[in-house]
Amino acid sequence: MSDAVLRVQDLRTEFAVRGGVVKAVDGVSFEVGRGRILGLVGESGSGKSVTAYSILGLIEAPGRIAGGQVLLNGVDLTQLRGEALRQIRGAQIAMVFQDPMMTLNPVLKVSTQMVAAVKAHDKVSTAEALERAGQALVTVGIPSPQERLDAYPHQLSGGMRQRVAIAIALLHRPAVILADEPTTALDVSIQGQILAEVRRLASETGTAFVWVTHDLAVVSSLADDICVMYAGKIVEAGSADAVMAEPHHPYTAGLLASVPAEHEPGTRLQQVPGQAPSLADLGQGCAFAPRCAKASPVCNTPPPLQQLANGRSALCHHPIQWT
Ligand SMILES: Nc1ncnc2c1ncn2[C@@H]1O[C@H](COP(=O)(O)OP(=O)(O)OP(=O)(O)O)[C@@H](O)[C@H]1O
Ligand code: SF4
Ligand SMILES: [Mg+2]
């Protein structure tokens, strides 16, 4: 993809823990094009949130980025510090968290917070900032923005708070928004509405989204492309439709098999049989081997990244073949 706005290359993030190093993100690479939505999916502890935080430069001790590049329109964010990073964050790349109260301050009115968010990057009058805040609320499907602007966060429903958080992320029309399970806590119909708004926003504004989720139903209704994470690595990537129809990696196949046939958006993934590995003591071989029906002795050696048809890839010695 030549029009990638975000290109993550061989990203490595480690945490120093007692007795060793946890490689939470271990050589992750992907790219997202303008107006595209990438679903980053995997079970709990696979490194999805740490990937998002690493991209934004939000990793703190005992964690550190141990290698790789995060290229936002060609600028490597891993090389930026302090003010340089703050100027880009919120303006060119923004984040929506699972809990909107990570973004919202409980003691300030929505209007106060949104005006401050506008003024953080643009020198405009308060009146103009308020106008932009109101427009942003309309953009995310909030019909009477004035009422919401006058409210404190606790006076809003969970779905409304999350829409406000998304509106704040959108204020400066960033190139990329990272969203870490922002609809997981919401009821299914509200979630469906927000996902539809996000789809529309991506195509209308050109903002690219990286949407972190456990929920394959969310990915299938939202994402253009999908990256499946397991134990800190991307084990499968490709267009969402193709991956979901014909998974190449045994772990992806396991995830899909564990989705109930009559799944509703919001249904949590069932566990793939077996336990997620401890990231502190992974060996050289495939981390999925203890849970994999296709495992063979060669799987004790590092699996290769196999480039497959239609721009797809799988990190596996024996990818599932479809004819
Ligand atoms: N502050 C920390 N100190 C040590 N290890 C950490 C820290 N934060 C994350 N990790 C490690 O990184 C791994 C990946 O965590 P991460 O939060 O990215 O998972 P996730 O895929 O977002 O999971 P979930 O779906 O539960 O949100 C965890 O299993 C944990 O071992
Ligand atoms: S490398 Fe081997 S153990 Fe790992 S997923 Fe592929 S077949 Fe299974
Ligand atoms: Mg997470």
Q: Are strands 225-230 and 208-213 parallel, antiparallel or unpaired?
A: unpaired
Nearest ligand by distance to the CA of 43: 1
Q: Are 28 and 10 in contact (CB under 8 A)?
A: yes
Q: What is the mean pLDDT of residues 32-56?
A: 97
208-233 pLDDT, tens digit per residue, is 999 999 888 899 889 999 999 999 99
Average pLDDT of span 185-214: 92
Binding site membership of 50 for ligand 1 (Cβ less than 6 Å): yes
Ligand 2, residues at Cβ distance < 6 Å: 250, 286, 288-289, 292, 294-295, 299, 303, 316-318
Strand partners, 213: 41
Classify domain 4-92+173-277 at the CATH topology level.
Rossmann fold (3.40.50)
99-137 b/e (C-beta count within 10 Å ≥ 16 → b): bbeebbeeeebbbebbbebbeebeeeeeeebbebbbebb
Q: In angstroms, rounded to a whole number, what is the distance separating the alpha carbons of residues 127 and 114?
A: 12
Q: Which residue has the higher pLDDT, 217 or 206?
A: 206
Under 8 Å between Cβ of 57 and 75: no
pLDDT tens-digit series, residues 264-308: 555 555 567 788 888 777 888 999 999 999 999 999 999 999 999
What is the four-CA torsion angle of 95, 101, 103, 109, rounded to 10 degrees?
150
Instruction: Read off the DSSP letter of residue 214.
Output: S
Please give the pLDDT value at position 186: 85
- What is the residue with the minimal CA distance to atom 24 of ligand 1? 44
What is the whole-number distance in angstroms between the Cα of residue 321 and the centre of ligand 1? 32
Contact 99, 181 (CB under 8 A): no
Place of tokens 């409210």: 151
How does pLDDT run across 94-153, given as a tens digit for each residue? 999 999 999 999 999 999 999 999 999 999 999 999 999 999 999 888 989 999 999 999
> What is the per-residue pLDDT for 1?
44
Q: Is 32 helix (H, G, I), strand (E, B) or coil?
A: strand
Ligand 2 atom nearest to 303, measured from its CA: 1
Asked which of 8-12, 110-114, 255-259 is least confident by mean pLDDT, the reply is 255-259
The token pair that represents 216 in the structure block: 């394959």
Residue ranges of alpha helices (H) inside the chain are: 48-55, 82-88, 110-119, 126-139, 145-149, 158-170, 188-205, 216-222, 240-245, 250-257
CA of 290 to the centre of ligand 2 (A): 9
Q: Which residues contact 227 (CB under 8 A, 6 or more apart)?
A: 30, 38, 39, 40, 41, 234, 236, 237
List the chain domain ranges. Answer: 4-92+173-277, 110-171
Query: Are 118 and 109 within 8 A, CB to CB?
Result: no
Look at 278 and 76; give whichever has higher pLDDT.
76
Q: In this predicted structure, what is the pLDDT of residue 271?
A: 66
Our mutation pick for probing the ligand 2 site, out of 298, 308, 318, 321, counting the most ligand atoms within 8 A of Cβ, is 318
- Window from 14-23, 191-200, 258-267, 301-310 with minimum mean pLDDT: 258-267
Which residue has the least CA distance to atom 26 on ligand 1? 44
Residue 44 Cβ inside 6 Å of ligand 1? The answer reads: yes
